[in-house]
Amino acid sequence: MKKLGIVLSLLFLCTMVGFTVNKQSSSARISISKIRRQCSTERKARKYMKKITFKVWDYRGSKKVTKIKSIYVHKRVAKKYKKAFYKIYKGKEKFPIHDVGGYNWRGSNHSLHSLGLAVDINSNENYLIDKGRIMAGSLWKPRKNPYSIPKRGDVVKAMRKYGFKQCLWGSRRDYMHFSIGGY
Ligand SMILES: [Zn+2]
């Protein structure tokens, strides 16, 4: 009887795990590996990119004003990124954005930027560090530097709402970077 109980609970667990995985893949409906196959070269990748234009806040002197930014992203995520930036713009923080990057062919289709599936926000103030070494940008001082992205602030929340995760894996902290896969 004990064995049967274990088998049954294992079966239950597997079903739950399967269910969760299915649920995630159907809601995301974006296959990064498929997009990677389609965007195998720079010339091919460009065909899938779409320009999005959106409002942001930024400083003019000490005053925050509206500015317009444009980036290229993969057409499958264009609407979602546009909505995420709109939500950031409408947020209470009026989070200032002075530089933003999207599609950027980086020599191969390995980087999600080469696929237009990642964006970088205020790269200098939201550095990429790995094992304590700065790899890109120069600082990250949320609440002190207005361009640094606070942990649970408007930017993180808006991006998460539309399915984009900040790239924070183990020792790798890429504070500027939001993508479909979170890497
Ligand atoms: Zn990035």
What is the distance between the alpha carbons of residues 43 and 155, in angstroms, rounded to a whole number? 32
> Is 0.75 surpassed by the pTM of this model?
yes
Angle between the 78-90 and 154-161 helix axes, to the nearest 10 degrees?
Answer: 150
Domain assignment of residue 103, yes or no = yes
The answer to whether position 7 is within a domain reads no
Single-letter amino acid code for the residue at 1:
M
CA of 55 to the centre of ligand 1 (A): 20
Q: How far apart are CA 117 and CA 34, in angstroms?
A: 12
Amino acid at 174: D
Say if 80 falls within a structural domain: yes
Please give the distance, rounded to the nearest whole angstrom, from the Cα atom of residue 131 to the centre of ligand 1: 17
Any domain includes 23:
no
Q: Counting beta carbons within 10 angstroms of the beta carbon of residue 83, is it exposed (0 to 12), middle (13 to 18) or buried (19 or more)? A: middle
- Measure 152 CA to ligand 1 centroid, in angstroms: 19
Distance from the CA of 130 to the center of ligand 1, in angstroms?
Answer: 14
Residue 43 Cα to ligand 1 middle (Å): 21
Tally Cβ neighbours within 10 Å of residue 133. 8
Indicate whether 4 belongs to any domain.
no
Q: In terms of residue numbers, what domain contains 149?
A: 32-179
Number of domains in the chain: 1
Tell me, yes or no, whether 45 lies in a domain.
yes
Question: At a CB cut-off of 8 Å and minimum separation 6, what does 181 contact?
Answer: 32, 112, 117, 165
Are 119 and 52 a contacting pair, CB within 8 Å? no
Is 166 inside any structural domain? yes
Rg (CA), the chain: 19
Sign of the dihedral defined by the CA atoms of residues 130, 134, 138, 141, in that order:
positive
Q: Each residue's pLDDT tens digit in the chain (183 positions)?
A: 566 565 555 555 544 544 444 444 434 578 999 999 999 999 999 999 999 999 999 999 999 999 999 999 999 999 999 999 999 999 999 999 999 999 999 999 999 999 999 999 999 999 999 999 999 999 999 999 999 999 999 999 999 999 999 999 889 999 999 999 777
Question: Strand 133-136 and strand 49-60: pairing?
Answer: unpaired
27: CA distance to ligand 1 center in Å? 23
Contact 109, 117 (CB under 8 A): no
Ligand 1 centroid–CA 176 distance in Å is: 6
What is the 20 CA–ligand 1 centroid distance (Å)? 28
Q: Is residue 3 part of a domain?
A: no
Rounded distance from Cα 120 to ligand 1 centre (Å): 5
Angle at 49 between CA 47 and CA 53, to 5 degrees: 145
